[in-house]
Amino acid sequence: MNDPDIWHYDAQDFREVKPGMLRRVFNGNGMSLAFWRIDSSTPRTPYDGHPDNEQFGLIIAGQLDFRLGSDDRQLLGPGDVYYAPQNMPHGDSKFIGDPATGETWILDIFCPVREEYRRA
């Protein structure tokens, strides 16, 4: 991908990857972006890291109650950002949906590209 591109929001472009977890993926040459819409009823996620990727996460709507590199829980809300270096365990996430949608919206940015996302 060497050309610029623009993607407009379309709820139909999200794919359910697990029950209650909708994802839309965008890939560039050296990074991946995952836009998540996660229902409050979604079970907690695994607590693990990514051996090949560092990750930023931006909470857009709702709240994220999770762990980042320790047993301490963190509660993040709209506008909050987290950073997980390569292999840093994170997750055990509980999603607290925005009252308007019942969903937590998160933008995850990965560097380098998550190769499994090229096929997403």
For the chain, domains (ranges, CATH) are: 13-114 (2.60.120.10)
Q: What is the pLDDT of residue 108?
A: 98
Report the b/e string of 90-102 with b at 16+ CB within 10 A: bebbbbbbbeeeb
- Under the banding of pLDDT at 50, 70 and 90, the label for residue 4 is confident
Contact (Cβ atoms closer than 8 angstroms) between residue 84 and residue 1: no
pLDDT of residue 50 exceeding 60, the answer is: yes
Contact (Cβ atoms closer than 8 angstroms) between residue 27 and residue 117: yes
pTM value surpassing 0.75:
yes
Q: What is the pLDDT of residue 79?
A: 98
Find how far residue 70's CA is from the centre of its chain.
Answer: 19
Q: What's the full length of the chain, in residues? A: 120
**Eight-class DSSP state of 42:** P
Q: What is the pLDDT of residue 119?
A: 74
Rounded Cα distance between 89 and 57, Å, is 14
